[in-house]
Structure 1
């Protein structure tokens, strides 16, 4: 995790706590030695999730966004979609009727499951627990490159 963390100042930790719900905070903060660190990638996802929710609710807006197209004006009526379905399905190699499409999807899923099942004995990251549920193990961390180590040390010195 070292490559994904930055050291928190008290100020950044305070702001992250105000932004993040208790569930997010469990993912964001990591204790390493006597320092609290934030997992940067988790923080990025948290910030953009909060931003998305605020944009949807109308609590915030993007200045000048009224100058961009309204996506709802670009939606097609179903009657306009019907003549396009045949070619669209052909382009994607999909069946163009519901019964055949469902049959095709079931076939693809069955084939994919067979490939995954065949690879299971060699997959060291996937286990089946005592409840019969698949569980992914944490990936083995690769050693940081020398350049990444220098960058990480420089960032940690800043905070």
Structure 2
């Protein structure tokens, strides 16, 4: 896997490069035969491993070796997250078809501009940003008015003196005949 990672050119499709930085760190210590590697990059900064789950965080660290990472566990963690990032498209492989950068297939805004009016008409959206915001505000206003109008009928919702809303606990509906029959058959 490490040999393949050296050959492939990976690219982050977002601003988050933490998995690629961890991969680069693993590649830096690939040929070393030690069990532990530093948790700091070559430039002295601490690796950003916040992407890793709590279980992985425990697996890659050893209490007896503070500031160090368990090399083999760290490499396994990096490849597990690299595979997930490739699957979701957050990391791409330059020149690849299946794991390539999906954002390169998107139209630029200049290419979209002539198509905008037809799209908005088909989707039932206002064409200008100001009209869109005005319509959205109107829809929210109508939804709030509808909710306010129905509040008097809502016996389960109450407001405390400080304005905090509270929903009353709903009573059970009882056991249906079908559920009772199923329970009897299971017993």
What TM-score do the two structures reach when normalised by structure 2? 0.40
Structure of greater Rg: 2
More helix by share: 1
What TM-score do the two structures reach when normalised by structure 1? 0.45
Which of the pair has the greater relative contact order for Cα pairs under 8 Å at 6+ separation? 1
